[in-house]
Amino acid sequence: MNTATMGAAAPVNPVPLKQDAAVIGLVGLAHATSHFSHLLLAPLFPVFIRDFGLSYSDVGLLMTLFFVISGAGQALSGFLVDRVGARPVLFAAIGCFLVASLAASQATSYAGLVLVAMLAGLGNAPFHPADFTILNQRVSAPRLGHAFSAHGLTGSLGWALAPAFLIGITALADWRTAYLGAALLYVVVLAVLFWQRDKLLTEVVVRPSGAPRGDMAFLRLPVVWWCFAFFLLSTMTLAVVQTFAPSILNVVHGVSVEMATLTISAYMLCSALGMLVGGFVAAYSQNHRWSSDRVVAIAMTAGALLLLLCATGWLGAVGTMVALAATGFAVGVGGPSRDMMIKKATPKGATGRVYGTVYSGLDVGFALSPLIFGLTMDRGWYGLTLAGAALVLMVSVFAAVGVGQRTATAR
C-alpha cells in the first residue's frame, strides 16, 4: 500500500470505497472457492463408501492427504507469491480445483479419489498467501479490518455452500453430474477473476543482492512460530466441532442426525456473522488502545468457555446446540483481528512467505485434530472431547498474547 499520499493535509482515506470494495469482493470470491473445495469430497463420503466399498478410515485418509499437501504447499507457495506475484498463483490454484472436479466426475476407484484429494490440496495451498498479499497491497489501511472480515466471512459461506451444492445436484441427478457442476462453477469464478485481473495485480518483492539466505530470514523470528502455534491450536478446536459435534449431539442428547448437522451449519453461519461484526471491532481497535491480540484473546476465551459449558451436558439438547452456535459467533468476532495481528507481525516484503508459513498451521491442525480426538470419541468420552477442544482453544489465547508481545521483534 502506498503511504506517501497519507500526509498531514490528506483526507483520512483518499482511496475511493468502490476501488477497495472491488478488490475485497474479488478476493472474497476466491476465498469462498477455496473453502468450497475443502469439502469437495467429504459431503459425498457416504456415496463413495457405498459405490466403491470403502471404509471410514479410507475416506478419512482422503482428508488427511488433502490437508497434508495443502499445509506443505501453503508454506512453500508463499515464496512463489513473493517472487512472481499473487495473481498468477491464484489463477493456477483455481485451475487445480477445476481439474480436480473433472477428475472426480470420472473417478471409478479409490485411486481416482486419491488423485482428486491431491489435486484439490495442491490447489488450496496458495490461497492464504495470495489472498493476503493482494489485500495488504491493494486495500487502503483504514479498510483492512473490513477486508479481513469479508475474507473470513466468504470462507465460511464457501463451507456452507459446498454440501448443499454437491448433495443437491446429486439428489437431482447423480454425483458425477454434481462434480461437473462444480467444474462449471470454477470456470465462472476463474472467468470473473480474469476479467477483473487488473485489480489483483501485486508488486513482486525485490530481494537485496548478495543475500542468498534472505528468503529464509523470517523463519528465525519467534513471532512467526507463535503465529503458527496459534493457528494450529485454534484450528484443532474447529476441526473437533466440524467432525465430532454432530455425533456427540446424537449420542449424548438424542438429537437427530439432520438437526445435529444443521447445528454445524448454524455454527458456520454464526461464525460468518461474528466475522462481519469483528470487522468493525478490528477497525475500531486500530484507532484506540485495544491491540489486535487482546481482541483475539477475549474472543477465543469466550468461545472456550462456551465450549466447556457444552462439555458439561448441563444445557440439554437445545441449550447445547444454541451454545455451539454462539461459540461460532465468539470465535468469528476474533477472526479479522487475528488477521490484523498477523499483518502487524509480518516483516516488510515477506507477506507471502509469512502468511504461507503461518496459515499452514491451519492445515496441520485440521490434519492432527481428528487423529487425537478420535481416540477419545472411540472410547465414548464425548464430554472430554469437547472439554479437550475448549482447553486447546484456551491455550491458543496464550499463543495470541505471545504474538502481541513479540510483534516488536519482527519490526
pLDDT digits (tens, 9 = 90+) for 44-73: 877 888 899 887 678 778 888 898 898 888
Residue 90's pLDDT is what?
A: 94
Higher pLDDT residue, 156 or 393?
393
Which residue bears the cell 490447489?
A: 123
- Gap between the Cα atoms of 40 and 162, Å rounded: 7
pLDDT at 373 over 90: no
- Gap between the Cα atoms of 399 and 365, Å rounded: 14
Architecture of domain 16-202: Up-down Bundle (1.20)
> pTM for this one?
0.73
Residue 31's pLDDT is what?
A: 93
| One-letter identity of residue 244 | F
pLDDT digits (tens, 9 = 90+) for 90-148: 999 999 999 999 999 999 999 999 999 999 999 998 888 889 889 988 988 888 878 88
- Gap between the Cα atoms of 70 and 88, Å rounded: 18
Residue 49's pLDDT is what?
A: 82
Q: Quick one: which of 130, 6, 8, 110 has its CA closest to 65?
A: 110
Q: Quick one: which of 33, 127, 377 has its CA closest to 239?
A: 377
Task: Give Dmax over CA atoms of the chain in angstroms.
Answer: 70
Q: Quick one: which of 288, 339, 290, 1 has its CA closest to 148?
A: 339
| One-letter identity of residue 251 | V
Which superfamily does CATH assign the domain made up of 217-411 to? MFS general substrate transporter like domains (1.20.1250.20)
Name the phi and psi angles at 45, rounded to 5: -55, -45
Domain boundaries, the chain: 16-202, 217-411
CB 323 within 8 A of CB 315: yes
For 70, the 3-state DSSP assignment is helix
- Gap between the Cα atoms of 46 and 342, Å rounded: 38
